[in-house]
Amino acid sequence: MNFIRPNVRAHFAKWSEAYLVALIIIMGIRVLIRGFVIQSIIYEAIGGVTIILGLVLLRGTIQRIQFKRSQKAPGMVDVTEREISYFGPMHGKTVSLESLFKIELRESEAYASVWVLHNSEGDPMIVPTSAKGSDRLFDAFTSLSGVKMDVLVKAVNTVPVHSHVIWERI
């Protein structure tokens, strides 16, 4: 017998990492206040550093959660040793991060939107944003120099207008 509604369970499953980081921030606040009460600069420093690190982690965690899509499209994405692989129902392709020179987000008739990864190795790799494992692209894209994660997350959460260039190698 389930006492928790499915939508509440899904919400906590999605945001559990953010709640954990929020608990770390709360612990940092508690240590900081304790430092003020007992007048200990060490407690104050530890609490302050914990709060700052927690806020940095929380920002990244929220971006990662917002980047995630429901995994309804066919195919699977894998990111291993700086290589992005997409294995679809009809084809598959692997592209190294070093060969990427442009990342686009396009609207698609078959799926809500697709990533178009232009590379120097040939034809661009097309990956549905809702393919299984597509959330791993977040970490791969963060390793590219010049990628603005705020722009990336915003683009994923809005309906693309035909085509939107997310990143281009200079």
pLDDT tens digits, residue range 106-139?
Answer: 887 777 788 899 999 889 999 888 888 888 898 8
Where are the domains positioned within the chain?
A: 6-67, 73-168
Given a contact cutoff of 8 angstroms between Cβ atoms, the answer to whether 41 and 31 are in contact is no
pLDDT band at 72 (very low <50, low <70, confident <90, very high): confident
Global pTM reads 0.69
**In percent, how much of the chain has pLDDT > 90?**
43
Tokens of 164: 């939107």
* Residue 143 DSSP code: T
The b/e string for 85-122 (b: 16+ C-beta within 10 A; e otherwise) is bbbbeeeebebebeebeebbbbeeeebbbbbbbbbeee
pLDDT recorded at residue 7? 87
What single-letter DSSP state applies at residue 112? S
Q: Which of 30, 57, 68, 58 is nearest to 46 (CA)?
A: 30
pLDDT tens digits along 21-56: 999 999 999 999 999 999 999 999 999 999 999 999
